[in-house]
Structures are given as structure tokens and as C-alpha cells.
């Protein structure tokens, strides 16, 4: 279990309740933001067609989602940074995290957070 995951488990009851307004579980919360930074990084590395616009869009929505968690759920910004760091640590060490979150659930959750 990473430091970010440990910190999530130790969040105050009130913060967890606020998170549950957006997510079905704390694991889903973690995986959503992990996948957001992963997708952003992959677009930046692979540079598909129209990658600059796609990258700006992904960054914009990640920023909105992060701000929502910080403001509405009282999640500390450095916890969000820890989740993002987990992805880059996995990437640097050639680890592939298996996320249980389906693509459909991931997209639906992002829409819920940013609306």
C-alpha cells in the first residue's frame, strides 16, 4: 500500500463522507485520480493526432477535479500530489498498476466530479 493509499484510509470521517458523494469507495477515488494523471502522461508521451489540444483538455479536467476535491471534500492538495506521484513512481519502475475501475465508470465519475 502506497503512502497516498495509507493517507486516504486515515482521512477524517467527514472527509470520507464528502468523498462518498462522488465515489463508491476510497479505492475508486484513488484509481480515478491515478488514471487521470496516467492518461495525461500517456498523451504527452505518445503525442497522437491533435495531442496538444487533447493534453490541454485532460490537464484542464484534472485541474477541475482536483480543485473540487480540495474545496468540496477538504482533501489536502498534497494528498492529490501523492496520488500523482504514485503513478510516476510506478512508471519509472516499469510497474503496471491493475485498476479495477472500468473505462465507463471512470468517465462517468469524472463527469460527476466536474459537473
The number of folded domains in the chain is 1
Contacts of residues 107-110 at CB distance under 8 Å and 24 or more positions apart, as own/partner, are: 109/22, 109/23, 109/28, 109/32, 110/32, 110/36, 110/61, 110/65
Could you give the C-alpha distances from 98 to 101, 103, 107, in angstroms and in order?
Answer: 9, 13, 17
Predicted TM-score (pTM) of the model is 0.95
Q: Could you tell me the residue range of the domain that residue 23 belongs to? A: 3-114
State pLDDT tens for residues 37-92: 999 999 999 999 999 999 999 999 999 999 999 999 999 999 999 999 999 999 99
**Residue-level pLDDT at 92:** 96
Question: Rounded to the nearest 5°, which phi and psi values hold at 47?
Answer: 50, 65
Is residue 15 helix, strand or coil? helix
Assign 93 a pLDDT band (cuts: 50, 70, 90).
very high
Amino acid at each position: 500500500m502506497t503512502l497516498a493509499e495509507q493517507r486516504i484510509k486515515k482521512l477524517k470521517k467527514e472527509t470520507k463522507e464528502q468523498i462518498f458523494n462522488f465515489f463508491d469507495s476510497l479505492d475508486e477515488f484513488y484509481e480515478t485520480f491515478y488514471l487521470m494523471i496516467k492518461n495525461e502522461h500517456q498523451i504527452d508521451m505518445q503525442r497522437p493526432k491533435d495531442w496538444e489540444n487533447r493534453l490541454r483538455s485532460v490537464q484542464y479536467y484534472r485541474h477541475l477535479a482536483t480543485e473540487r476535491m480540495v474545496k468540496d471534500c477538504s482533501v489536502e492538495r498534497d494528498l492529490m500530489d501523492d496520488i500523482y506521484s504514485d503513478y510516476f513512481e510506478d512508471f519509472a519502475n516499469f510497474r503496471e498498476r491493475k485498476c479495477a475501475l472500468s473505462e465507463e465508470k471512470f468517465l462517468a465519475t469524472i463527469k460527476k466530479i466536474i459537473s
